[in-house]
Structure 1
Amino acid sequence: MSSPSRARRALALGARFLTVGAISTVIEIVSFNALLAFGVEPVTAKIVASLIALVNAYFGNRHWAFRSRARRSRRAELALFLATNAMCTVLGAVIVWGGDLAVEAVLGREAGVLALNAVNLFSIAVVVVVRFALYHFIVFRAQPARP
């Protein structure tokens, strides 16, 4: 396979992944803010919002973004997907927790919704990179080329 063809396929995969991610991000941000509005603590809101968006992420990635990848058993794939996302959820929550503490230290008061959303968006950006790498190389991995 030629490099330009491989590059086009990689770009198409990345675009599909980012589209699914954008939709999941909107779901996560709306959920996060709704939970904050109901008085849920920021880290808990982050975890719950991530889990809500996870449903869209699985179906969008499995059935669209990585649809051309060979499938392993549904259980194995789902277990890897859930493990990957549990790790990514913890990573996002740790970033929100640290960011919340940092904002409070800098401002000398509790972080407001705008600051929490900035921290949340930063956590999403970091987690997107980690998640793509794990999906690409582990969860929905390509089958090795046969000689």
Structure 2
Amino acid sequence: MSDRRTLRDRLRGIAQEAAKFGTVGAFGFLVNVVVFNLCAHVADLAPLRAGVIATSAAICTNYLGNRHWTYRHRDKTGRSREAGLFLLFSCVGMVIENGALALSHYGLGFTSPLADNLAKNVIGLGIGSLFRFWSYRTWVFRTVTPPAAAPEDETASVAALTPRREAAPPRG
């Protein structure tokens, strides 16, 4: 038997991981939208300030969900490294997300609450989420590497890899 997983198994694993990431992201999305609208339309903060506050709240929520559910099986030895990278990549996602809001609100002049929500919470968040999924699974929540197996008897390994030759029939 081979320790290598088939392509189908790997795709199934990525699909399950993406579903968990999406569930955590959906909860973070709710936090993001509620906090953004409270800050922008109740507290009357500027759209970008409200966006940064909302995204920061969602980042905290998403870290907890991803660490303790989506990627709970991944390496947990470097928590400070992990948290630092999570924050770094989340901030890049925040720039993507709020960049879409800034472009729409200030660059294109779409200043209605609906336009702000579509730019930030649909377009920006969609692109930012794709970036986050890739970066979190690649750099932040690394796969646990199994301990190196003790090498077997080298002669047995070489013999297993060496093709067998059929005995030649006697001449005669």
Q: Which runs of 4+ in 1 moved over 6 A?
A: none
2:38 maps to 1:34: yes
Residue 95 of structure 1: CA displacement? 1.6
Residue 144 of structure 1: CA displacement? 5.2
Q: Name 1:113's counterpart in structure 2.
A: 113
Q: Name 2:134's counterpart in structure 1.
A: 133
Residue 84 of structure 1: CA displacement? 1.1
**What is the aligned length?**
142
Q: Name 2:79's counterpart in structure 1.
A: 74
Q: Aligned partners of 1:136, 1:99: CA distance in 2, in Å? A: 30
Q: Aligned partners of 1:144, 1:12: CA distance in 2, in Å? A: 20
2:62 maps to 1:61: no
Letter of the aligned partner of 2:19 in structure 1? A
Q: Aligned partners of 2:27, 2:73: CA distance in 1, in Å? A: 21
Normalising by structure 2, report the TM-score.
0.77
Indicate conservation of the 8 Å contact 1:36/1:42, yes or no: yes
Select 1:43's aligned residue among 44, 48, 51: 48
Indicate conservation of the 8 Å contact 1:103/1:115, yes or no: no
Query: Structure 1, residues 14-49: CA drift from partner, whole Å, max 9, x if none?
Result: 000000001000100011000111111011111000
Q: Which moved more, 1:50-59 or 1:69-78?
A: 69-78
Q: Aligned partners of 2:116, 2:100: CA distance in 1, in Å? A: 11
Give the structure with the higher percent helix: 1
Structure 1 residues 91, 72: CA separation in 2 closer, same or farther (over 3 Å shift)?
farther
Normalising by structure 1, report the TM-score.
0.89
Letter of the aligned partner of 1:118 in structure 2? L
Residue 102 of structure 1: CA displacement? 3.8
Q: Percent identity?
A: 27
Q: Name 1:122's counterpart in structure 2.
A: 123
Residue 142 of structure 1: CA displacement? 1.8
Q: Name 2:28's counterpart in structure 1.
A: 24
Q: Aligned partners of 1:65, 1:44: CA distance in 2, in Å? A: 29
Query: Structure 1, residues 92-132: CA drift from partner, whole Å, max 9, x if none?
Result: 2222111112441xxxxx61101111111211001000000
Secondary structure of 2:76 counterpart: coil
Please provide the CA RMSD for this pair: 1.6
Q: Name 2:14's counterpart in structure 1.
A: 10
